[in-house]
Amino acid sequence: MTQFRQPTVEEDLAGLDMIYREHILDHYKNPRNFGKLEEYDIHYFDNNPLCGDEIGIWLKLDQDGKKIADIKFTGRGCAISQCSASMLTEEIKDKSLEEVKQIKSQDVLDMLAIPISPVRMKCAILSLKILEAGIYHYEKRLMQQKISIQE
Ligand code: FES
């Protein structure tokens, strides 16, 4: 059961200076890295339980399994959740998993560069939470494989 109405993009952009409106609209209309990967190492999908908006992330690692060679996302939701996913995917391409794990909520807010009210924090960091969960489950699976090989 959702309890939060998804704001329209116009509502999200209301009151913003032109430069910030364009920054958000650009990512909203042309989301970077939008789509799915056929071959991937990490995939995670989740939603914001308050509104039901959702994001799925696919990551392909390089041969060493250390750096992000490719990334895609799909999603459905408010401008803030979808723009932050677009910006985050741009930011982390070619970064190592260790670097990505250092990204904090404040870094995503800095990428968005618009005021985010407390009630919209879940929108802003939805993609980061999904990314973190995907990496967590991937590393857990690797660890379990290692343990089962040793046994
Ligand atoms: Fe649903 Fe923003 S209103 S994630």
Asked if the structure places residue 73 within a domain, the reply is yes
Say if CB 73 and CB 33 are below 8 A apart.
yes
Residue of the nearest CA to atom 3 in ligand 1?
6
Q: pLDDT 10s per residue in the chain (151 long)? A: 566 778 888 888 888 888 888 899 999 999 999 999 999 999 999 999 989 999 999 999 999 999 999 999 999 999 999 999 999 999 999 999 999 999 999 999 999 999 999 989 999 999 999 999 999 999 999 999 888 888 7
CATH of the domain at 114: 3.90.1010.10
Report d(CA 140, CA 151) in Å as an integer: 17
C-alpha span between 72 and 33 (Å, rounded): 5
| Residue span of the structural domain in which 88 resides | 9-150
Provide the domain count of the chain.
Answer: 1
Residue 15: how many other CB atoms lie within 10 Å: 10
Atom of ligand 1 nearest to the CA of 51: 1
64 part of a folded domain? yes
Residue 3 lies in a domain: no
| Mutational test site, ligand 1, from 8, 51, 76, 121, max ligand atoms within 8 Å of CB | 51
Asked whether residue 21 is domain-assigned, the answer is yes
Question: Ligand 1: which atom is nearest the Cα of residue 7?
Answer: 3
Alpha carbon distance 138, 22 (integer Å): 36
pTM of the model: 0.92
Residue 1 lies in a domain: no
Q: Flag whether 2 is in a domain.
A: no
Q: Is residue 97 part of a domain?
A: yes
Which value, to the nearest 10 degrees, does the dihedral of the CA atoms of residues 101, 125, 27, 46 take? 90
* Amino acid letter, 78: C
Residue 60 burial class via C-beta count within 10 angstroms: exposed 0-12, middle 13-18, buried 19 and up = middle
Say if 4 falls within a structural domain: no
- The values of phi and psi at residue 88, to 5°, are -65, -40
